[in-house]
Chain A
Amino acid sequence: AQTVTQSQPEMSVQEAETVTLSCTYDTSESNYYLFWYKQPPSRQMILVIRQEAYKQQNATENRFSVNFQKAAKSFSLKISDSQLGDTAMYFCAFMINNAGNMLTFGGGTRLMVKP
């Protein structure tokens, strides 16, 4: 079975600064996807970024980037130039490539961006 661990239940960052959220996972699979989802206080879960395990290049999406360390089974999310709208719960998630449709989520990190 796969497990996803987010060791930081809560974090805060000043507006315009950079913050990194950590995520580790455990799997014996070699072909999988990793995701970061954001859940603002309004509760709509939104996909932030995805990473295919076979790709060595770290995914980036505007101010969001990941540091994917496959050997260490680590998948951290870096948010640059933090904005007040980044305040949300952030969930790391894992999906095996050939399973088609099963996501395993971490417990989440609550991020507060302070003005």
Chain B
Amino acid sequence: NAGVTQTPKFQVLKTGQSMTLQCAQDMNHNSMYWYRQDPGMGLRLIYYSASEGTTDKGEVPNGYNVSRLNKREFSLRLESAAPSQTSVYFCASSEYLGSSYNEQFFGPGTRLTVL
């Protein structure tokens, strides 16, 4: 099992360009998440998907869109990249949504730089 995979690992964009970050999990998990990690700050939730067919905003959703393509895949799209979106992006999955006991399994991250 690969767990949670993310592509690409690194990306450099110019301001205004668009791109999609891909995430897939092979653990048959129902819930998936997108976070960003910035220096000196904890991971912040961008969007999440409780189950296939549903998506909801997290703490910092502005400038992003998501698609839960199927149970395995959850993509994050930047329509018009801005320097403030320079960050490391992590995708995670868990068996179910909820705060009790559900361990989130994280992908290796995508390091994005917006010039």
Does chain A bind chain B? Answer: no
Interface residues in chain B, defined as those with a beta carbon under 8 Å from any beta carbon in chain A: none
